[in-house]
Amino acid sequence: MIAVTINGITMSFRTLPSLFSPGGPDAGTLAMLSLAEFRPGGKVLDLGCGWGIAGIYAAKLVGAEYVTMSDIDGEAVKIARENARINGVPGVSVVQSDGFGDIGGAGYALILSNPPYHADFAVAKGFIEKGFNRLAIGGKMLMVTKRREWYKNKFIAVFGGVRIEERGGYFVFEGEKRGADYAKTKRRPFPPSGFAAPRPAGS
């Protein structure tokens, strides 16, 4: 059992050797959560949840009934459900899904994702494009990786701009849905000049 405390919230988790970062929370995920803004009652999706740290932390803040966690790996889904029960938020929805394929609903206020950045960009491309469509207007997608340029360009193409924060070798990208259409279509939610360069940690 792993004990994790984030912003005064202590949680306990079971993990499996086959899952990502089985020995404890990944530094990239912690960086992403340190920048996430959770609104009570705002729907949250933990996309690629692994053993569930991001979604369970979100459930503690916004309410379990507003949180969905998903992963393509059936073992991850099983242990994420168990960890939700261990941490007193059994009401979260945990689904096995390849990307958004089996995730119902839309209108998310926040989508969180730590995609497999060592693979090709196909997974992240689908997450970003389809995630945009599932966000509410004003909703945000946060994604953390160790790569910068491709993700920067993709967020700008889809969202019209991006905020980037660098934390300990990880880049956290934040895109906000300001309109119903991708930026690359005729109706731009906001121009590429909305791109903000990364600020030093702690600024």
Residue 202: partners with Cβ closer than 8 Å, 6 or more residues away: none
Taking residues 133-151, report their average pLDDT. 96
CA–CA gap between residue 66 and residue 99 (Å, rounded): 19
24-33, 72-81, 114-123, 175-184: range with lowest mean pLDDT: 114-123
92/190: higher pLDDT? 92
Does position 132 have pLDDT exceeding 70, yes or no?
yes
CA–CA gap between residue 146 and residue 88 (Å, rounded): 32
Please report which confidence band the pLDDT of residue 138 belongs to, taking 50, 70 and 90 as the band edges. very high
Does position 141 have pLDDT exceeding 60, yes or no?
yes
Cβ–Cβ under 8 Å, residues 64 and 92? yes
Does position 199 have pLDDT exceeding 70, yes or no?
no
Spell out a b/e string for 153-180, using b for 16 or more CB atoms within 10 Å of the CB, else e. Answer: ebbbebbbbbbbbebeebbbbbbbbbee
Does position 193 have pLDDT exceeding 50, yes or no?
no
Cβ–Cβ under 8 Å, residues 202 and 190? no
CA–CA gap between residue 144 and residue 141 (Å, rounded): 10
**Mean pLDDT, all residues of the chain:** 89
Taking residues 165-190, report their average pLDDT. 81
Taking residues 15-41, report their average pLDDT. 92
CA–CA gap between residue 58 and residue 159 (Å, rounded): 23
> Quick one: 21 exposed, middle or buried, by C-beta within 10 A (0-12, 13-18, 19+)?
middle
pLDDT score at 96:
97
pLDDT score at 47:
97
Please give the structure tokens belonging to residue 119.
């693979």
